Amino acid sequence: MESILEIKGLKKSFKDFSLKGIDITLEKGYIMGFIGPNGAGKTTTIKLIMNLMKKDAGVIKVFGLDNVKYELDVKQKIGFVYDENNYYEELTISEMKRIVASFYKTWDDSAFNKYIGEFRLPLKKKIKDLSKGMKMKFSLAVALSHNADLLIMDEPTSGLDPLVRRELLEILSQIIQDENKAVFFSTHITSDLEKIADYVTLINDGEIVLSLEKDELINNYGLVRGGKELLNNVNSKDFIDIRENQFGFEALVKDKNQTRKAYKDKIIIEKPSLEDVMLYYTRRCRNV
Amino acid sequence: MNIIISNQSDKPIYEQITDQMKNLIINGELSESELLPSIRNLAKELQISVITTKRAYEELERDGYIVSIPGKGSYVKPQNKELLKEARIRIVEDKMAEAISAAKTINMSLEELQQILRLLYEEV
Amino acid sequence: MFNLIIKDVLIQKKQFIFGIAYLAFVLVAFQGMGEAMFPMGLVAVTYMLSMTACAYEEKNKSDLLLNSLPIKRMSIVAAKYLSVLIYAVMGILSYKAMITIINLLNIPLKTYPLSLEILIGSLAAVCLMTGIWFPIYYKLGYMKMRVANFVLFFLFFFGSSLMTQALKSKHDSLWVKDIISFFNTQSNITIVLVFIVIIVLYMLLSFSLSAWFYNRREF
C-alpha cells in the first residue's frame, strides 16, 4: 500500500511544550482520526505538515515527497480546513474564491459551484457575515475544488452544530469513494470519528499513545466494571487505567476476551467509545 | 437488499454485515452472480469505516460466499444450495449441543428441554 | 502574485476612497506648503494603505491561509512591495485628476503641476519609508511593528534635524565638499539616475531582508 502521509521521528520544541519524535502513517483510501486533548500537539503536527512551522528533526513525506523540498507541488494536492476561518472577512465568497483559485493549477470551477449549491452558500455575501458552519463549508468547498488527494482538517467541527457535523461526515465518506484520496482529521470531539474513521491516532503531551485501526480498538478494547475487591489481585498491566469509586471500579483493558476469561461473570464488559479510550490514556499519563 | 447495523451490539460491525449477507445469499435474496455494492459505497451508505466493510467482504470471500474481481467488484459466488443448507444445519446442531450441555449441568430432563424448545419455536 | 495585489486592493475599497479624500484635503488645506504638499500627501496615503493591508492580514490571521496555499513566501512579500507601487501610482493619478479638475473649473486654488523632480522625490520618500518598515513588519509582525514604527518615527524626525545640523557644521570638511562638488559637476540626468539606482538598491536590500525574515517566521 502506498502511504499518502508519512511522518517519522518528528520533533519540535517550544518553551513549554514539545513534540517528542512522533510517527504517523496514513495510506491512501482511508480516513484517519487524529485525537487527543487540547494542547496535546495536534495543531502543531498539522502546522509542521503544512510547513507553517519548521521542524527540529524528523521526516514528513506527503505523496512520497518531502513536504519542505517539494512544498509547492505538495500543497497543490492538499486541501485544508482549519478550526478558525482564515479567509479575508472583508471579501465576498466569489471574490475570495477568485483569488484562491488563481493559485491552484487544477482548480475546478464546476466542482466549486456544485458544492456552493449543495451547501447553499451565498456567493455575494461577505465572509464576515457567514455563520461558523457556513465558513467551514466554504473552506471545505475550496479544499474540495482543486482535485486535492489529501484533505487535512484541524478541528473542523469545533463549535459546529450536530447537523453540520453530520453533513461533514457524509461528505468525507463521499470523498473517499475515490480510493486515491485520504483524509487526516484532527479533533477532540471523538464522536465525530466513531463512525467513519478507518484509523485512530491518539496523541497526548507530544507523544503518540496509540495508532491503529478503529475497529481493532472498538472490538478488542473493553470498558470493564466490577467490585473493588477484584482489584486486590489484579495484574495492573492488563489495565490501562483504573478509576475507583465508592461502590466499585471502572477500567479500560486492551484485550476484553482475556479479561472476560479471567474474571468470568464477576465483571461487566462494554465496548469503549473513542472518548473512553482517550480519557483513560490521557489520565494514565497524568498519573504516572 | 437490507443491511441493518447496530452500534450497541457486542457483535463487531463487520460480523453483523457478514451474517446478514450470508443470510441474504442463503435465502436467495441475493441471487447468483449478482454484483454487490462496492466496499466504499457500502461504507458510505452505512456511515461506517471502509476498513469495516473491507474486512466483511474479505471474510465473505474466505468463507466462499462471494468472489472479488479487482477493478470490477464483488459478486455472489454460485452456490451449491444443498451444501449451503447442510452448513446451516450444522450451525443449528452446534448451538443445540451447547444448549443441551447447559441443560445437563442443571439436570434438566429431555422432556423439559423439549417443552422449552417448543415454546421458544412458537415465540421466535 | 498579481492576485495577491488584487486582494490587497479589494479588501481596502473603503480606504481607497478615504485616501483620495485625504489627497483632496491636502490640496486645499496645505496650500501654504507649495510643491511639498504632494510628497507629503502621497507618503501619508501609501503609508496608510500599506499599514491597513498589513492590519487586515493580522486581523484575519491570513498568514495561515496564504502559507497553506501553494505560494512561495517570497511571492507573498513581493506582492506587498509591489502593492505599495500600485498605491503610489493610484495616488499620483488621482492627484493629477484633481489638479486637472481644479484648473478646468477655475476653482480658486493654487495648483502645482507634477514636475519630474517632485514625482521622483515623492516616490523616493515613499520607498525610503516602506523600505524601513516592511522588514520590521516581517520580522516582528503587525502589533510589535506598530510600536517599533512609533519609535522610528521620532528617531526619523529628530535624527534628520540633527543630521542637517551636523552637516551644516561640517560644511567645510572634505567629504561633504566632495559630494557637493560631485553633484555640482554632474548633469541633472546623471544625478537623477544615481538617485534612482541608490533607491532601487535600497529597495532590493529591504526586500531581501523582509523575505529572509518572513521565511523564518512560524505561524
Higher pLDDT, A54 or B124: A54
Q: Which helix (H) or strand (E) holds A13?
A: strand A3-13
Chains with ≥3 Cβ pairs under 8 A against B? Answer: A
Number of Cβ within 10 Å of residue C192's Cβ equals 14
A176–B50: do the CB atoms touch at under 8 Å? yes
pLDDT in the model for residue C111: 77
B102 CB burial (10 A radius; 0-12, 13-18, 19+): exposed
Higher-confidence position of C141 and C31: C141
On the question of pLDDT at C171 being above 70, the answer is no
Q: Is the Cβ–Cβ distance between A162 and A41 less than 8 Å?
A: no
Model confidence at A234, in pLDDT bands (50, 70, 90)?
Answer: low
* pLDDT in the model for residue B89: 86
- Residue A70: CB partners within 8 Å, gap ≥ 6? none
The HSE-up count of residue C13 (CA atoms within 13 Å, CB side) is 6
Q: Give the Cα separation of C61 and C54 in Å (integer).
A: 10
Question: By percentage, how much of chain C surpasses pLDDT 70?
Answer: 96
Backbone angles phi, psi at B36, to 5 degrees: -85, 160
Residues in chain B: 124
Residue C16 grid cell: 481607497
Spatial separation of the C-alpha atoms in residues A282 and A268, rounded to whole Å: 23
Q: How confident is the model at residue A287 (pLDDT cuts 50, 70, 90)?
A: low
Q: What is the pLDDT of residue C167?
A: 67
Of all residues in chain B, the percent with pLDDT exceeding 70 is: 100
> How far is residue C133's CA from residue A90's CA, in Å, rounded to a whole number?
25
Contact B49 A215 (CB under 8 A): yes
**Which of chain C's residues have a Cβ under 8 Å away from the Cβ of A80?**
68
Instruction: Give tens-digit pLDDT for A76-91.
Output: 999 999 988 889 999 9
pLDDT of residue A285: 67
Q: Which helix (H) or strand (E) holds C144?
A: helix C142-169
Buried b / exposed e over B33-42, threshold 16 CB at 10 Å, is eeebbbbbeb
Across A150-167, average pLDDT: 89
CA dihedral angle for residue A96, residue A102, residue A104, residue A105, rounded to 10 degrees: 150
Q: What is the band of A1 on the pLDDT scale with cuts at 50, 70, 90?
A: low
Contacts for A130 with CB less than 8 Å, ≥ 6 apart: A93, A121, A138
CA distance A243 to A128: 46
Distance CA A136, CA A82 (A): 8
Q: Do A51 and C11 touch (CB under 8 A)?
A: no
- The more confidently predicted of residues C164 and A96 is A96
A159-163 contact pairs (CB < 8 A, 24+): A159/A83, A159/A132, A160/A132, A160/A133, A160/A136, A161/A133
Bigger pLDDT: A109 vs A194: A109
Q: Terminus-to-terminus CA distance in chain B, angstroms? A: 22
* pLDDT value, residue A117: 92
DSSP secondary structure letter of residue A272: P
Q: Which residues of C touch A50 (CB under 8 A)?
A: 67-68
pLDDT (mean) for A250-256:
90
Decide if A186 contacts A5 (C-beta within 8 A): no
Residues facing residue A269 across a β-bridge: A224
Q: What is the pLDDT of residues B62-72, one digit of tens each?
A: 988 899 998 88
From C138's Cα to the closest Cα of chain A, the distance in A is: 15
Q: Residue written as cell 541633472?
A: C188
| Cβ distance of A86 and C65 shorter than 8 Å | yes
> Where does chain A have alpha helices with state H?
42-49, 71-76, 93-101, 109-118, 132-144, 162-175, 191-196, 214-220, 256-263, 274-287
Q: What's the rounded mean pLDDT across residues A128-141? A: 91
Residue C125 CB contacts under 8 Å (≥ 6 apart), including other chains: C39, C42, C43
Mean pLDDT of all residues belonging to chain C: 85
Interface-testing mutation among B10, B46, B49, B54, with chain A (most A C-beta atoms within 10 A): B49
Residue C170 has pLDDT above 70, yes or no: no
Closest CA to A82 of C66, C125, C36: C66
Burial of A205 (0-12, 13-18, 19+ CB in 10 A): middle
Query: Distance from C156 to chain A by nearest Cα, in Å?
Result: 34
Average pLDDT score over chain B: 88
| Secondary structure string (H, E, C) spanning chain B | CCCCCCCCCCCCHHHHHHHHHHHHHHCCCCCCCCECCCHHHHHHHHCCCHHHHHHHHHHHHHCCCEEEECCCEEEECCCCHHHHHHHHHHHHHHHHHHHHHHHHHCCCCHHHHHHHHHHHHHHC
Would you call A90 and C4 a contact, using CB atoms and an 8 Å cutoff? no
Residue with cell 482475556: A258
Name the DSSP class of C32: G
Interface touch C7/A88, C-beta < 8 Å: yes
Rounded distance between C-alpha atoms, residue B75 and residue C172, angstroms: 100
Q: Write the pLDDT tens digit of every residue in C33-43.
A: 777 788 888 88
- What's the complex ipTM? 0.88
A273 touches chain B (CB under 8 A): no
For chain A, what is the mean pLDDT? 90
- Return the C-alpha torsion angle A206, A208, A214, A217, nearest 10: -110
The mean per-residue pLDDT over the stretch B12-26 comes to 90
Beta strands A199-204; A31-35: pairing state: parallel
* Grid cell of B95 as nine digits: 448451538
Query: Which residue from A30, A195, A215 is facing B14, i.e. has the nearest CB?
Result: A215
User: Is B5 in the A-facing interface, judged by CB distances under 8 Å?
Assistant: no
Backbone angles phi, psi at A87, to 5 degrees: -85, 160
What average pLDDT does range B77-98 have in this prediction?
Answer: 82
Residue among C5, C50, C8, C44 nearest C23 (CA)? C44
pTM summary value: 0.85
The answer to whether chain B touches chain C by having 3 or more C-beta pairs less than 8 angstroms apart is: no
Interface A–B counts its CB contacts (< 8 A) at: 45
A 91-150: CB under 8 A from B = none
The pLDDT of residue C48 is above 80: yes
All cell numbers assigned to A94: 466569489
∠ Cα A281 A285 A286 (to 5°)? 120
Supply the DSSP symbol for A153: E
Question: In whole angstroms, what is the distance from residue B71 CA to residue B68 CA?
Answer: 9
Find the largest Cα–Cα distance for chain B: 57
At C89, which helix (H) or strand (E)?
A: helix C73-104
In B18-77, the residues whose Cβ lies within 8 Å of chain A are 40-41, 43-44, 47-52, 55
Among positive and negative, which fits the CA dihedral C139, C142, C148, C149? Answer: positive
Shortest Cα distance, chain A CAs vs residue B53, angstroms:
10
Does residue B12 sit at the A interface (CB-CB below 8 Å)? yes
